[in-house]
Amino acid sequence: MQEASLRDIRVAVVGYGYWGPNLARNFHHLAGAQLAYVVDQDATARERAQQLYGCQTATQLDDVLADPALDAVVIATPARTHHALARRALAAGKHVLVEKPLTMDVREAQDLVTLAKQSGLTLMVGHVFEYNPAVAYIKHVIDSGELGELYYLYSRRVNLGRVQSDVNALWSIAPHDISIALYLLDQMPEAVRCQGTSCLNGAVEDVVFLTMFFPNNVLCHVHASWLDPSKTREMTVVGSQKMIVYDDVSAEGKVRVYDKGAFRKGDVTYGDFQYKLHSGDILIPRLDMREPLQVECAHFVDCVRTGRQPFTDGENGLRVLQVLAAGEQSLRNDGEKIYL
């Protein structure tokens, strides 16, 4: 087989339902990659992909794993199928990109991480917001110390639909905000607490409220729901010197840096506690407007070609999964605080 460094990386996208078409589109148009296969059990989906991209199609993953020229498998199927499909692909010697969450079980995720390392293969998780230029900018501002002492973060990821029946809002929606928080703070929470309710389907929660407790008394609160009147994708980061609002659905000014803050003065021990407020300008930075998914797909192809460690590797996916699992445990125990 020709060396991967000298030819296009041949990719199979498995699952052409909700998110798979976006992945197929990006790999088709990506320089240095070739969309070789789309795998889906639905005949209409396969026909649509073949008409759009001229790629080969198949009904089962095993139909394409035997192709020695196939380099990588991209999995965009329901979350409960991720482990079995990713494991088969890794065992067949293929590099793997898995949509979030990596799996639905921490032990299964660890299994994939171990297998990828033992096989010398790329295992990457599609935490697409970590490839978003707006999130990267916020990370830069936090790391620079410009915000001062970091107090807390909170996010709202809500809209009306797409209602799920197999996973709750914690597993379906909140992984995005968990991955963003872990990336921005560069550490794991010490504990989590989660509460939610089932309004439409008694089997799954349509709305959840997740709180992550980070070191240095930093809180991060996540509200996730598919039962809300408006589509909101917003995160606020509050510091003592400045504050940031990130609005992902805004057509203009996705990031706003507020020169506003409040910090303590005096010695609180002797009752002389005072605080100071300040308010200044609002900065709207110019951002790279490339599609984050395009950046993610290009990074995956580069990692396959060069052997570099992915930015959102299996360990990254495992950390997000550990928070999700603790949140689920808390949810099942009436919001009990669960320590990681």
Q: Given a cut of 50, is residue 205 above it in pLDDT?
A: yes
pLDDT band for 261, please (50, 70, 90 cuts): confident
**Domains observed in the chain:** 4-129+292-314 (3.40.50.720), 141-290+323-339 (3.30.360.10)
Average pLDDT over residues 319-329: 98
Neighbours of 187 (CB within 10 A): 13
pLDDT band for 201, please (50, 70, 90 cuts): confident
Q: Given a cut of 90, is residue 103 above it in pLDDT?
A: yes
This prediction has a pTM of 0.94
Q: Given a cut of 80, is residue 220 above it in pLDDT?
A: yes
Question: Partners of 132 in the beta sheet?
Answer: none
Q: Given a cut of 90, is residue 297 above it in pLDDT?
A: yes
Asked if 194 and 210 touch (Cβ cutoff 8 Å), the reply is: yes
pLDDT band for 2, please (50, 70, 90 cuts): very low
Bigger pLDDT: 340 or 201?
Answer: 340
Average pLDDT over residues 65-86: 97
Q: Given a cut of 70, is residue 25 above it in pLDDT?
A: yes
pLDDT band for 263, please (50, 70, 90 cuts): confident
111-143 pLDDT, tens digit per residue, is 999 999 999 999 999 999 999 999 999 999 999
Secondary structure tally for the chain: helices H, strands E: 10, 15
Instruction: Calculate Rg over the CA atoms of the chain.
Output: 22
Asked if 129 and 282 touch (Cβ cutoff 8 Å), the reply is: no
Average pLDDT over residues 221-232: 97
H or E stretch covering 9: strand 9-14
Instruction: For strands 243-247 and 255-265, give the pairing.
Output: antiparallel
Residue 302: what pLDDT?
97
Question: What is the distance of C-alpha 318 from the center of its chain?
Answer: 12
Mean pLDDT of the chain: 94
271-284 pLDDT, tens digit per residue, is 555 777 878 899 99
Q: Given a cut of 60, is residue 268 above it in pLDDT?
A: no
**Among 90, 94, 79, which Cα is nearest to 37's?**
94
pLDDT band for 3, please (50, 70, 90 cuts): low
Residue 278: what pLDDT?
78
Instruction: In whole angstroms, give the CA distance from residue 43 to residue 57.
Output: 10
To the nearest whole percent, how much of the chain has pLDDT over 70?
A: 96
Residue 276: what pLDDT?
79
H or E stretch covering 181: helix 175-185
Bigger pLDDT: 270 or 140?
Answer: 140
Instruction: In whole angstroms, give the CA distance from residue 245 to residue 237.
Output: 7
Residue 1: what pLDDT?
41
Beta strands in 101-204 (DSSP E): 123-126, 150-160, 191-197
To the nearest whole percent, how much of the chain has pLDDT over 90?
A: 88
Q: Given a cut of 60, is residue 53 above it in pLDDT?
A: yes
Instruction: In whole angstroms, give the CA distance from residue 219 to residue 179.
Output: 15
Residue 5: what pLDDT?
58
Contacts 24+ apart (CB under 8 A), 113-119: 113/314, 113/315, 113/318, 115/87, 115/90, 115/91, 116/90, 116/314, 119/90, 119/91, 119/93
Total residue length of the chain: 340
Instruction: In whole angstroms, give the CA distance from residue 135 to residue 246.
Output: 8
